[in-house]
Amino acid sequence: MQREVVRTAAALVIGNELLSGKTQDENLAPLTKTLRGLGVRLCRAVLIEDDLDTIANEVLALHRAYDVVFTSGGVGPTHDDVTIDAVARAFGTEVVIDAAFARLIEEAYGDKCTEAHLRMARVPKGSELITSAEISWPTVRFANVWVMPGVPEIFRMKLTMVRERLTGPVTFYSSSVFTRIEESELKPLLDQVVLSHPEVEVGSYPKWRDPVYKTKITLDATREEAKRAALELFLSLLPAGEPEHIE
Amino acid sequence: MQREVVRTAAALVIGNELLSGKTQDENLAPLTKTLRGLGVRLCRAVLIEDDLDTIANEVLALHRAYDVVFTSGGVGPTHDDVTIDAVARAFGTEVVIDAAFARLIEEAYGDKCTEAHLRMARVPKGSELITSAEISWPTVRFANVWVMPGVPEIFRMKLTMVRERLTGPVTFYSSSVFTRIEESELKPLLDQVVLSHPEVEVGSYPKWRDPVYKTKITLDATREEAKRAALELFLSLLPAGEPEHIE
């Protein structure tokens, strides 16, 4: 299958529990890694409460501003699961029962299948239901919005489909240099690298009381040669005995 | 000291590294817990890249919509630290060197003090510099925006000042009920609780393949009595042998 090329992405992480300190989000980290690996730039992530209008407004804003949007959470059978309704509202469409999805649920739950289970077959009218060879349980996509579940294990499973369907236009090349030098002392060196290699993104991350290193410097580019040249310049500027290591 | 009463809060977490999968945010979790403990509702958290205009626009939007805003990250001495400039731009003010802060930095670093260190004394003109008995290193606040550092250990340290200065108008009372029942089967019970106790927020969180429980139900209210009544109703609806436990 030809993968769709997307350049920018946004994530919408939904759930009161994430903002009230009861649960910590676990889905952003695997999503960021997946997108980075594909060469897609995740530009923005927003965490909001389970409120229909708030979700609808945010979905519409992100849909318009980015090539692809991933929502996480609010897709179960209970009263606080309003993401499907919110996506429908965002696009001015209605919620319908997808017959094939409903059959799948009935088959999966058999005699135990209740109305609550069947609520999971509710989708915004006009959605695409994405499945793969390994995963028959569909993922709902409406326009460029992927509606992903909040349960971390299932969210991660569904990233397989993201990798099958999407790709970025570039490859990201990265190096991390770990030094025992304070960030402030590195600044003039970094400024030289930034000035000489404008296409390389230079990051500087101090570590507080770490036994191994004081500052991690990251170099990122979409051309391997550019990244390598910036790395060589930076290493040549470091004093003897540095860096601690490179990754 | 009289604490300022704030009802709603937002967080702005800044840094390319968080969106590119290199680092995982560690500051939202302690912030959510702190605010929850104070009775302040965190309504929204946004993760964005180190881009001056993006940060400035977001700071202004959050400043207008919420009682208090916390930014995290982008306040060090290097080229990618643009939060101070962004906050100044958001409020149409300039960046100035705070003389007292600069003296503190000079004393702290002594002979080793460089121009890069002194960059940390740059603040939006009109900022308040907050210190406490324990923490002499100031935290910059402009209007209702607290500019917090990205380094997790320092971020957590500065939450002491947040607790000293701010409080919410309410107390949150919470219970969590862990059941071995599937979420779909719990739905009709939860609907009864939601209907009978509109002031109680009911959350339902399925756990995937957990040896102990299948669904965690949370009950939250700002009146303890209301939370307790909802809890009692929910427990009375559960079948014999449930719940697994309550927290």
Q: Is B32 on the interface with A (CB under 8 A)?
A: yes
Residue A123 CA, chain-centre distance (Å), reads 22
The one-letter amino acid code at A219 reads L
| pLDDT for position B134 | 82
Per-residue pLDDT tens for A77-127?
898 999 999 999 999 999 999 999 999 999 999 998 998 899 999 999 999
Q: CA-to-CA distance for B7 and B166, rounded, in angstroms? A: 10
Asked if A22 has any chain B CB less than 8 Å from its own CB, the reply is yes
The number of beta carbons lying within 10 Å of the beta carbon of residue A45 is 26
Q: Which value, to the nearest 10 degrees, does the dihedral of the CA atoms of residues A102, A103, A106, A109 take?
A: -90
Residue A2 has pLDDT above 90, yes or no: no
In chain A, what residues touch B45 (CB-CB under 8 Å)? 19, 46-47
Chain-centre distance for alpha carbon A246: 26
pLDDT, chain A, mean: 95
Which pLDDT tens digit goes with each residue over B190-229? 999 999 999 999 999 999 888 999 999 999 999 999 999 9
- Sort out which chain B residues have CB atoms less than 8 A from A17's CB and list them: 203, 205, 218
Only one residue has tokens 């731009």, namely B89
The pTM of this model reads 0.95
Does the structure show a pLDDT above 90 at B116?
no
Nearest CA in chain A to B50: A203
Beta strands in chain A (DSSP E): 4-5, 8-14, 41-48, 68-72, 95-97, 122-124, 128-130, 139-142, 145-148, 166-167, 173-179, 201-206, 215-221, 245-246
Read off the pLDDT of residues A173-190 as tens digits, 9 standing for 90 and up: 999 999 999 999 999 999
Closest CA to B3 of B54, B57, B39, B27: B39
Q: How far apart are CA A100 and CA A157, in angstroms?
A: 21
Do A186 and A238 touch, CB atoms closer than 8 A? no
C-alpha–C-alpha distance, residues A158 and A139, integer Å? 7
| Angstrom distance (rounded) from CA A211 to CA B247 | 38
